[in-house]
Amino acid sequence: MTTRRRTAAPNAEWVLMYRGGLTRSRIAALTRVPAATIGYHLSVALGADPGLQAAHEQAAGPPTMQVSGQGLARMRQLVALVQETGRYPSRTAANADERRLASWLERRRRDAAAGTLAPAYRDGLAVLPRWQRAPRSVADEGRWQDRLAALARYRADGHDWPRHKAALTGEEHDLGVWMHAQRQKARRGELDPDKARALDEVLPGWRTGRQRGRRPRTGTV
């Protein structure tokens, strides 16, 4: 009867793999060595090197969250809601289902920020624009786009660049204040490059606006 000679423990290669973040089962699969044998060698190594476990956990990174059938159903409901209504669910909504979707989405945002979002959720939510951003940021972006469209319509109707003087009221004042804010941000280098490009494309000449001494247009001829 022959016996297999046990490799001297700990095996340096297996310890290195573990230190690099691989699990016992993954090392066993790669080396074709029984998991129990890998476990024995790693237990010896862990006893000799108290910092090995911490190094393994740091290299492995945070554990990816598990995907459940209920979670996938929530994701499909969320995607359908956003695509149908153009908005994200609110935690203060009157509808209980919408509140649950809002809570589920908030948890997925935290998972994404921590690097633990499951690939199934990551791929499924990728169809939604800017889903990882906080609701307030999404709302602010929507208001900015609305202002851009409103100013484009204002100019297309034959009006000169709107003024932001305090004496003015109504649409011209509101659009003028917004336009003035964009110019100020651009001069300070604080305007988002994508927004600057959108303004350049939709509203050529927005950076300079009215010319001194030029009478405002009141309509098309």
- The residues spanned by each domain of the chain are 12-60, 69-125, 135-202
- Long-range contacts of 176-181, Cβ-Cβ distance < 8 Å, separation of 24 or more: 178/147, 178/151, 179/151, 179/206, 179/209
pLDDT at residue 56, as a whole number = 85
- Is residue 17 a contact partner of residue 30, using CB atoms and an 8 Å limit? yes
Query: Is pTM, for the whole model, over 0.85?
Result: no
Q: How far is CA 110 from CA 73, 91, 93, 125, in A?
A: 19, 16, 21, 14
| pLDDT above 50 for 134 | yes
The pLDDT of residue 218: 44
Please check the confidence at residue 137 and state whether its pLDDT lies above 90: no
Asked if residue 206 lies in contact with residue 181, where contact means CB atoms within 8 angstroms, the answer is no
Q: Give the model's pLDDT for residue 179.
A: 93
pLDDT score, position 65: 67
Mean pLDDT (the chain, rounded): 83
Query: pLDDT tens digits, residue range 58-111?
Result: 877 666 567 888 999 999 999 999 988 888 888 777 888 988 999 999 889 888
Q: How far apart are CA 44 and CA 155, in angstroms?
A: 76
